[in-house]
Amino acid sequence: MTAGAGEAHETAILTIDLDALAANYHRLRELAGTAECAAVVKADAYGIGMAQAAPVLWRAGCRTFFVATLTEAKALRALLPDAVIYVFSGLLPGTAEIYRAHDLRPVLNSLEEIKEWAEYGRSVGAKLPCAVHIDSGMNRLGLSADEVDAVSATRDLWPALTLSLVMSHLACADDPDHPKSGTQRKAFDRLRALLPQAIASLANSAGILLGADYAYDMVRPGIALYGGHPRRQGPNPFRPVVHLAGRILQVRNVAAGETVGYGATRSFKRPARIATVASGYADGVLRALSAGDDADGLVVSIAGHAAPVIGRVSMDLITIDVTAVPEEHSRRGAFVELIGPNVTAQEFAARAGTIDYEVLTSLGRRALRRYIGG
């Protein structure tokens, strides 16, 4: 890539392809079959920017959205006045009026929350919509089996509210052969049958790829929308959305026996050419990508030529070995592809010992954000 007009001073550019985002939504909607395809836009749309992503998804046909917090929900409501918006964190004490004022729907995670929502509805004379989250075996948020039994027997609750969604969350869907997904699906079917009839939702991005048995009435993709890989292995069926490039600030020759970076963790066994790139962990290049002696670093790309990261990742800088890169490409001011067509977010994450969810949500705000398409 090259810097555009007025971008000569930029040291890093984060390009976000909104056409790819829309294409991923359409692909997920196809995979969902007859089920509604919602969208999870929590954590600022997984780091790419909710203000830009949500309207694109709306224009692509999405009508139901999920966020993590009330603050996110209020921001989304300002963007999409007519969307259905669910909030995963549920009903914190004293927040019912906020939900009603902004036409938001809590995902109720306990018997206590259900009771509070019903009581609030009675107090304002309205049967307010909500979701109920069943814990089908993840042991995180959601009603336990005992709570489902208790709430199903409390008949006076349901006339005071509108149950618009019953949902659960898969723990191991990223491994298509893991038996826990089937166990959770059976538990979900058994427990939701005890509640009033409502739209059912179980599948996240990885769950959608498990097939029609997991689609129910609504699917809730997140990472796949943004080009992440929902499964641990195999090719990624979704288009990359994020492209991160950093600029070379300086190129130098080093002699055998010299070291590079903090801690002198990487030494050279032969003469080399190294480039210092203006991107570090403040830009989302995780410190875990550091590569000391006898460690393989992330291989980035310069005009299609491979160049490994060497030494420690610092806040603002990384160093890469450009010995094998033609000098006309590895010059001062040239761009280095850190995430993109040649360096996938999955590979980036794997080298750091993490997942692409963390990579996307860790992208800093210092790089110039350039949105294309949409």
Q: Which residues are catalytic?
A: 42, 262
From residue 139, alpha-carbon distances to 91, 134, 144, 169, 184 in Å are 19, 10, 8, 10, 11
**b/e string for 174-191 if b means 16 or more Cβ within 10 A?**
bebebeebeebbebbeeb
Residue 8 burial by CB count (10 A; 0-12/13-18/19+): exposed, middle or buried? exposed
**What 3-state DSSP class applies to 346?**
helix
How many other CB atoms sit within 10 Å of the CB of residue 82? 8
Nearest-5° Cα angle at 29, 371 to 232: 80
Beta bridge partners of 127: none
Parallel/antiparallel/unpaired status of strands 299-302 and 64-67: unpaired
How far apart (Å, rounded) are the C-alpha atoms in residues 55 and 63?
10
Which segments of 50-151 are extended strands (E)? 64-67, 84-87, 105-108, 128-133
